Amino acid sequence: MSFMWNVVYVIIALVIVKISQWLWQWSNPNSKGSGKLPPGSMGFPIIGETIEFFKSSGLLEIPPFFQKRMLRYGPLFRTNILGSRTVISTDADVIFEIFRQENQSFVQSYPDVFVKRKMIGFMNRTTREHLRWKASEGAFNLRHAVSTLIVSYITPQMISNLKPETEAKLIDNFMAFNIEWFQSPFALSTWNNLFKVLRARKEAAKIINVALERRKDSILEKQGDFLDTLLEEMKKEGSIFDQASIVNLLLNIGVVSRDTTSHATALTVDFISKNPRVLTELQREHEAIVQKRDDKEAGLSWEEYKDCMPFTRMVIYESLRLANLGTIIFRKAVKDVVIKGKLEVKRYTIPAGWIVAVAPSVVHYNAEIYENPLEFNPWRWEGKDLRSPGSKTLMVFGGGARQCVGSDLARLHLAIFLHHFVTTYDFSVVQECEIYRVPFPCFTKDLHINISPKSPS
The Cα–Cα gap between 421 and 245 comes to 36
Q: Cα-flanking dihedrals φ and ψ of residue 359, to 5°?
A: -120, 80
**CA torsion, ordered 38, 44, 48, 50, to nearest 10 deg:** -130
Mutual orientation of helices 142-158 and 407-424 as an angle, nearest 10°?
A: 130
Binding-site sequence positions for heme: 404
The Cα–Cα gap between 202 and 192 comes to 16
Binding-site sequence positions: 404
Give burial (CB, 10 Å; 0-12/13-18/19+) of 404: buried
Q: Which DSSP symbol is given to 40?
A: B
Q: Helix H segments across 327-406? A: 360-364
Dihedral sign of CA atoms 291, 292, 295, 297 in order: negative
The Cα–Cα gap between 311 and 83 comes to 44
The Cα–Cα gap between 312 and 213 comes to 42
